[in-house]
Amino acid sequence: MNCNYKDKIISYIENDLTKQEMAEFESELEKNSELQLEFNEMKATLNSFKNLPKIETSSDFIVNLNNRIDEYESSKIKIFNNVFGRILNYNYLPQISIGAVTLIFLLAINYFGFTNFDTNSNTLLSNSSEVVNTDDSEVADADSLDVTE
């Protein structure tokens, strides 16, 4: 049998051919008994899927699924409680307090230290610009002297 036509059997069944291809296939199908046999067998194979038994879920499917979802939700809460429960456990409270105070202290030093440094550096900068200005004025004075000379 012409292999091209065999390949077109499924495309024909699924309406996946152009009008011209369809017409060609149909005319070949009429005169070619081997193609007819292949075509009918393929149609029967595809129809047989309807005979597959339909599986239905049991009545407790949703109940079981919801139980599993509840388990998941409670395990999430457990993990949260385990992590934060340990941290907030009374046994660790002094260490946590000391840690917190130290952290606040370090942050305060960091903040105020840098603020002061910024203020100082601004002062330093303004002083240095004055110095530069003074130097410039001196240079200017010197130039003016040169001119007068």
Partner 1 sequence: MDKMTLTDEELILAFQNGDRDAFNHLVNRYKDKLTNFLYRFTYDIDSAQDLAQDTLLKVYINKDSYKQIAKFSTWIYTIASNLAKTELRKIKRRKTFTISDLSTDDREFVIHRSDEDSFENEEDNSVSGKILEKCLDELDNEFKNIIILRDIQELSYDEISKILQIPLGTVKSRINRGRFKLKDLLKQKGVTLY
Position 18 contacts partner 1 (CB under 8 A):
no
Nearer to partner 1, 53 or 94 (CB): 53
What mask, x for binding partner 1 by CB under 8 A, covers residues 72 to 111?
A: x---------------------------------------
* Stretch of 26-34, 55-63, 84-92, 132-140 contacting partner 1, by CB under 8 A: 55-63
Q: In Å, how far are 6, 94, 121 from 38, measured between CA atoms?
A: 8, 84, 93
Nearer to partner 1, 57 or 95 (CB): 57
Distance between start and end Cα atoms, the chain: 118
Q: Which of 3, 18, 19, 56 binds partner 1 (CB under 8 A)?
A: 56
Residues in the chain: 149
Would you state the structure tokens that stand for residue 110, as one six-digit string?
A: 């960091």
Of 32, 42, 33, the closest CA to residue 9 belongs to 42
